[in-house]
RNA sequence: GCCGGGGUGGCGAAACUGGUCAUACGCGCCUGACUUAAAAUCAGGUGUCUCCUUCGGAGGCGUAAGGGUUCGAGUCCCUUCCCCGGCACCA
């Protein structure tokens, strides 16, 4: 028998699959009813940064197992691949002197594509797309124009996150703990004119439609926190002297009678007007200036401070004037940028009131009369709290009072129920080069003018210098920049900013459906056949970025009639991090084990098996080189045993002996684990068990069945060795062979092992006929000498019988 | 602080709806076979303590800690500790 040589058989079968176009799939013919059920398998597309790492291997191997498993269950499986190829790393590499970003990117794509082929993943390469190709970004631009038309893309000046190193604006989602997600330096707040997508208009839909998604609970929770929906009321506080109303947002309208002062954010537009003409005018203006110079971090950690404006507003409930203060613990970005302060029931307001000697009035008390420190914490908003000092609402339970007070305010035009979100609109313009150009022309006469659809794409031009200088690099290309206004023909200037790469990846799964369409981003009928993605796999780090943006995009596209789906990803799975020495594997940490090097040493099949055998795929795992050795050993064992089986003459029926039963139990286990439980490590263990059972039983009549089943079941994990062994067993084209079905009759046995417990402890086990009546069963159990020793003449108080499992004697 | 997920052998981990001496499968380690030797391969062993003269048995204790429910708990409930992730001056 020849040796197992993955280096020989793996390229061989990869060529066979390619020649047979095994994993390419045609779009449905609209004139014919679909023959088979579709399955859209998708993994998050890679950023082409250089090489694949083990995290990618895990991600795409998971997808590959599911792809094979579904294909062999008769589904038409769409499993495409592409590249998220715009973005800063390539541009920064270009600046460091690596050539044009396009060259760097395309070189990296070629390298990754080769690695993907080497690992034998079943991908439909006819559908490959890359974000930086004009054929793709033409439609990214087209979609932008549709969003603009619908009023869902707009340009406005707003405080935004500015990364001083990368010299660009970042979305809130790209700022982690106040730092740039990419370069790690602290971001600054800047007031700049930027492009935004109106994702906030979909805040409720994004929350509500979680109900239709089979997603991990923690991912939904992360999105829920990020969107941050709060229910409450908007209440107007009147400043009579100036004849203006100050709106505040509160989640606790029941505490309105306890609002003894107001606080405005220093950035609040009315601050200046309020303080004007009072003796505090000077102090207020200094405080505002001082705050602007404070860092976000200082603002969050220092003791609360503020200044009085010299003005009073009327509490609409009590009718009493309350002082209006300015303090930077109130944030302009949230609510209305002004609050009613209830020091008795809010820690922050209490701290502030203590410091400045402001009045504290308790308005909510526990119904049981127990005492609480004022301001120690916001009281629970439950039926167990009653209002006090609240006029005609005194004595009412808090939740009921909240509703009644809002109604009462409504009647008098002083307030209404309101909902606020933490989510901000998505700022997506970037002051950098390597991204999708925004198809806009600015014209002095016409303002912001969209580039007409038939002039798309606006091609990304070459520039002399990519270096970030605060102004977009594209602006340096004068020839490109100056164009006639598409509307009036007068002098126009192109938008020189580019789009956030998250825009590119917010619709790529739709382009895969119809990747060569040059009339539209995709044909709706085709997209409606494939969408939604049935199984999406990728990192949880995209929970508030890509996974939120894509949902938003699909919702908008649905409303624009472009697609029937309302959600992009029906089912979602997150693979864990692959770690080495305790830290996440990454290039920057230098602790990367190169997948292709390992594939060279052990074969792609061993790498694929091991990455899934290490542990549950959704859990972080620690990489060990010894582990791969173990898997390689297993594959050699499998190779030897199946080759031996193949050389034996084909015998008669497998029968119903232990090996035949074990074989069918393995089919059931592997099928259930992959199909229903979506776990991938235990099937490998089950296959190892079957190998261990087959090895000493080569002359068993079921040996051939066991061997063939092993090969068939391992195919999704290790397709090359499986195909080779399948051929040696005298068959062909395992990749399209139906998945084996367990014989229920062989899973059921006519005898079973009865476990006998005394007081819950196992004392003996007996092989018992399955149809034995209960009374007989108890007698037999009692007769066991080991049980007798335990019973030892004691009285049996109760005998619990679990059918086909155990008897428990209680003494 | 609030929300979500975890804690099982020397290690990665099994035990899926409470029911087979918990620890499958693999790694590591130990012993043996083959070999001049090594690698590879093959066979066996591997939670812990106690007892029996042995081969081999018998028994106690063990799933972060403590308590509870149950005939029976790694699995359910309560309390505490620790780890990971998200949000957080969000009114």
Q: Which nucleotide is nearest to A300 (CA to C1')?
A: B89
**How much is the average pLDDT of A4-14?**
94
Per-residue pLDDT, A155: 94
Note the CA–C1' distance, A222 to B4, in angstroms: 8
Per-residue pLDDT, A582: 47
Per-residue pLDDT, A370: 56
Backbone angles phi, psi at A374, to 5 degrees: -65, 135
**How much is the average pLDDT of A735-756?**
82
Note the CA–C1' distance, A623 to B10, in angstroms: 17
A263 pLDDT exceeds 50? yes
More confident residue, A459 or A649: A459
Q: Which nucleotide is nearest to A421 (CA to C1')?
A: B90
Of the candidates A635, A727, A692, the one whose C-alpha atom is nearest the C-alpha of residue A4 is A635
Tell me, rounded to whole angstroms, the distance of Cα A286 from its chain centroid: 45
A17 pLDDT exceeds 80? yes
Note the CA–C1' distance, A630 to B10, in angstroms: 18
pLDDT band at A399 (very low <50, low <70, confident <90, very high): confident
Cα A246 to Cα A261: distance, rounded to the nearest angstrom: 12
Q: Which nucleotide is nearest to A420 (CA to C1')?
A: B90
Hey, what are A619's tokens?
């859990």
Hey, what are A557's tokens?
């596209």
Note the CA–C1' distance, A604 to B70, in angstroms: 50
Note the CA–C1' distance, A13 to B16, in angstroms: 35
Per-residue pLDDT, A293: 78
Note the CA–C1' distance, A673 to B19, in angstroms: 22
Cα A582 to Cα A110: distance, rounded to the nearest angstrom: 31
Note the CA–C1' distance, A622 to B64, in angstroms: 22
Q: Which nucleotide is nearest to A810 (CA to C1')?
A: B71
Output the CA–CA distances (angstroms, integers) from residue A7 to A119, A524, A598, in the order listed: 12, 44, 12
**How much is the average pLDDT of A447-458?**
96
3-state helix, strand, coil in chain A (%, to 5): 40, 20, 40
Most confident listed range (A67-71, A88-92, A678-682): A67-71
Bridge partners, residue A437, by sequence: A498
Note the CA–C1' distance, A297 to B37, in angstroms: 68
pLDDT band at A384 (very low <50, low <70, confident <90, very high): low
Q: What is the full DSSP assignment across A759-787?
A: TTEEEEEEEEETT--HHHHHHHHHH-HHH
HSE-CB for A236 with a 13 A CA cutoff: 15
Per-residue pLDDT, A378: 46
A580 pLDDT exceeds 90? no
**How much is the average pLDDT of A268-294?**
90
Q: Which nucleotide is nearest to A377 (CA to C1')?
A: B1
pLDDT band at A696 (very low <50, low <70, confident <90, very high): confident
Of the candidates A410, A388, A385, A415, the one whose C-alpha atom is nearest the C-alpha of residue A399 is A385
Protein residue at shortest CA distance from C1' of B6: A619
Mark out the alpha helices in A454-522 (DSSP H runs). Answer: 478-481, 501-504, 508-511
A690 pLDDT exceeds 70? yes
Protein residue at shortest CA distance from C1' of B14: A682
**How much is the average pLDDT of A4-23?**
95
Strand A168-170 and strand A175-176: pairing? Answer: unpaired
Note the CA–C1' distance, A597 to B38, in angstroms: 26
More confident residue, A590 or A45: A45
Interface confidence (ipTM) of the complex: 0.92
A379 pLDDT exceeds 80? no
Strand A153-163 and strand A447-450: pairing? Answer: unpaired
Hey, what are A7's tokens?
């280096």
Contacts of residue A369, Cβ cutoff 8 Å, sequence gap at least 6: none
A382 pLDDT exceeds 60? no
Strand B bases within 7 angstroms of protein beta carbons: 3-5, 11-16, 19-21, 24-28, 40-43, 58-60, 71-73, 85-91
Q: What dihedral angle (degrees, nearest 10) is formed by the CA atoms of A146, A151, A153, A157?
A: 160
Q: Which nucleotide is nearest to A797 (CA to C1')?
A: B71
Cα A722 to Cα A740: distance, rounded to the nearest angstrom: 14
Output the CA–CA distances (angstroms, integers) from residue A452 to A449, A489, A595, in the order listed: 9, 13, 46
Query: Omega into A137 within 30° of 0, i.e. cis?
Result: no
Per-residue pLDDT, A587: 47
Reduced to 3 states, what is the DSSP secondary structure of residue A652?
coil
Per-residue pLDDT, A658: 86
More confident residue, A464 or A435: A435
> Contacts by A521-527 with C-beta closer than 8 Å and gap 24+?
A521/A139, A521/A142, A521/A143, A521/A562, A522/A563, A524/A561, A524/A562, A524/A563, A524/A564, A525/A30, A526/A27, A526/A28, A527/A563, A527/A564, A527/A565
A592 pLDDT exceeds 60? no
pLDDT band at A590 (very low <50, low <70, confident <90, very high): very low
Per-residue pLDDT, A751: 65
Continuous segment of H or E residues that includes residue A671: helix A658-672
Cα A613 to Cα A309: distance, rounded to the nearest angstrom: 66
Of the candidates A192, A195, A168, the one whose C-alpha atom is nearest the C-alpha of residue A181 is A168
Q: Which nucleotide is nearest to A637 (CA to C1')?
A: B41
pLDDT band at A265 (very low <50, low <70, confident <90, very high): very high
**How much is the average pLDDT of A227-256?**
92
Continuous segment of H or E residues that includes residue A450: strand A447-450
Note the CA–C1' distance, A65 to B8, in angstroms: 29
Note the CA–C1' distance, A770 to B21, in angstroms: 23
- What is the pTM assigned to this prediction? 0.91
**How much is the average pLDDT of A679-698?**
92
Tokens 């126009």 map to which residue?
A492
Note the CA–C1' distance, A65 to B21, in angstroms: 37
Cα A446 to Cα A452: distance, rounded to the nearest angstrom: 14
A24 pLDDT exceeds 70? yes
Q: What dihedral angle (degrees, nearest 10) is formed by the CA atoms of A277, A330, A154, A423?
A: -160
Cα A610 to Cα A718: distance, rounded to the nearest angstrom: 10
A369 pLDDT exceeds 70? no
Of A646-650, A667-671, A769-773, the poorest mean pLDDT is in A769-773
pLDDT band at A608 (very low <50, low <70, confident <90, very high): very high
Q: Which nucleotide is nearest to A760 (CA to C1')?
A: B72
Share of chain A above pLDDT 70, in %: 94
Hey, what are A69's tokens?
């498993």
A591 pLDDT exceeds 60? no
A556 pLDDT exceeds 90? yes
Q: Which nucleotide is nearest to A621 (CA to C1')?
A: B12
């Amino acid at each position: 028998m020849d040796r197992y040589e993955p280096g020989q058989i793996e390229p061989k079968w990869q060529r066979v699959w390619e020649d047979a176009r095994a994993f390419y799939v045609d779009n449905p013919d609209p004139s014919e009813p679909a023959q088979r059920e579709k399955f859209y398998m998708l993994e998050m597309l890679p950023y082409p940064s250089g090489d694949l790492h083990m995290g990618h291997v895990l991600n795409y191997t998971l997808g590959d197992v599911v792809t094979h498993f579904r294909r062999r269950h008769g589904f038409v499986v769409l499993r495409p691949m592409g590249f998220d190829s715009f973005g800063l790393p390539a541009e920064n590499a270009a600046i460091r002197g690596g050539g044009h970003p396009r060259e760097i990117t395309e070189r990296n794509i070629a390298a990754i594509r080769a690695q993907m082929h080497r690992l034998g993943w079943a991908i439909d390469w006819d559908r490959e797309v890359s974000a930086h190709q004009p054929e793709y970004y033409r439609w990214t631009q087209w979609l932008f124009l549709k969003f603009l038309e619908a009023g869902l893309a707009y340009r406005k000046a707003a405080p935004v996150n500015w990364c001083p190193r990368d010299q660009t604006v970042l979305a809130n989602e790209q700022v982690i703990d106040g730092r740039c997600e990419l370069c790690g330096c602290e971001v600054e707040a800047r007031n700049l004119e930027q492009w935004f997508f109106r994702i906030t208009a979909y805040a409720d839909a994004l929350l509500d439609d979680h109900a239709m998604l089979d997603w991990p609970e923690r991912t939904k929770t992360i999105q829920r926190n990020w969107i941050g929906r709060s229910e409450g009321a908007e209440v107007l506080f009147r400043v009579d002297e100036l004849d203006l109303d100050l709106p505040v947002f509160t989640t606790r309208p029941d505490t309105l009678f306890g609002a003894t002062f107001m606080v405005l954010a220093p950035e609040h537009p009315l601050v200046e007007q309020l303080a004007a003409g009072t003796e505090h005018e000077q102090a207020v203006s200094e405080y505002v200036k001082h705050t602007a110079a404070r860092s976000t971090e200082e603002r969050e950690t220092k003791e609360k401070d503020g200044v009085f404006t010299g003005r009073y507003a009327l509490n609409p409930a009590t009718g009493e004037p309350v002082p209006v203060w300015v303090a930077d613990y109130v944030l302009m970005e949230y609510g209305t940028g002004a609050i009613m302060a209830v020091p008795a029931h809010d820690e922050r307001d209490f701290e502030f009131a203590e410091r400045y000697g402001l009045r504290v009035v308790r308005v909510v008390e526990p119904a049981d009369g127990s005492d609480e420190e004022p301001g120690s914490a916001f009281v629970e908003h439950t039926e167990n709290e009653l209002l006090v000092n609240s006029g005609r609402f005194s004595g009412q339970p808090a939740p009921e009072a909240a509703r009644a007070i809002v109604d009462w305010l409504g009647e008098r035009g002083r307030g209404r129920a309101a909902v606020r979100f933490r989510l901000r609109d998505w700022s997506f313009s970037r002051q950098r080069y390597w991204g999708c150009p925004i198809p806009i022309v600015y014209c002095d006469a016409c303002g912001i003018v969209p580039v007409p659809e038939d002039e798309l794409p606006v091609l990304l031009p070459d520039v002399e210098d990519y270096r970030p200088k605060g102004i977009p690099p594209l602006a340096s290309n004068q020839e490109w920049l100056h164009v006639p206004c598409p509307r009036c023909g007068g002098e126009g200037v192109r938008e020189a900013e580019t789009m956030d790469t998250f825009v590119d990846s917010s619709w790529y799964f739709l382009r895969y459906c119809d990747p060569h369409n040059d009339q539209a981003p995709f044909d709706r009928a085709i997209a409606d056949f494939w969408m939604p993605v049935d199984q999406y796999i990728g990192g949880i780090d995209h929970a508030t970025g890509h996974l939120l943006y894509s949902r938003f995009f699909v919702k908008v596209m649905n409303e624009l009639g472009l697609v029937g789906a309302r959600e992009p990803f029906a089912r979602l799975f997150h693979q864990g991090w692959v770690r080495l020495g305790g830290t996440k594997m990454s290039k920057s940490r230098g602790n990367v084990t190169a997948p292709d090097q390992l594939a060279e040493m052990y074969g792609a099949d061993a790498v694929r098996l091991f990455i899934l055998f290490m542990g549950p795929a959704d859990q972080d795992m620690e990489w060990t080189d010894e582990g791969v050795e173990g898997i390689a050993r297993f594959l050699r064992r499998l190779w030897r045993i199946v080759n031996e089986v193949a050389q034996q003459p084909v015998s008669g029926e497998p029968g119903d002996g232990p090996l035949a039963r074990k074989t069918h139990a393995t089919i059931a286990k592997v099928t259930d684990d992959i199909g229903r439980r979506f776990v991938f490590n235990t099937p490998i263990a089950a296959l190892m068990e079957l190998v261990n059972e087959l090895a000493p039983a080569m002359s068993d009549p079921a040996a051939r069945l066991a061997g063939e089943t092993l090969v068939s079941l391992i195919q999704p994990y290790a397709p090359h060795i499986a195909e080779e062994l399948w051929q040696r067993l005298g068959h062909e084209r395992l990749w399209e062979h139906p998945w084996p079905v367990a014989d229920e009759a062989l899973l059921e046995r006519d005898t079973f092992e009865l476990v006998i417990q005394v007081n819950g402890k196992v004392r003996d086990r007996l092989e018992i006929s399955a149809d034995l009546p209960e009374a007989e069963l108890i007698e037999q159990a009692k007769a066991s000498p080991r049980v007798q020793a335990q019973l030892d003449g004691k009285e049996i108080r109760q005998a619990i019988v679990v059918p086909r499992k155990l008897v428990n004697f209680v003494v």
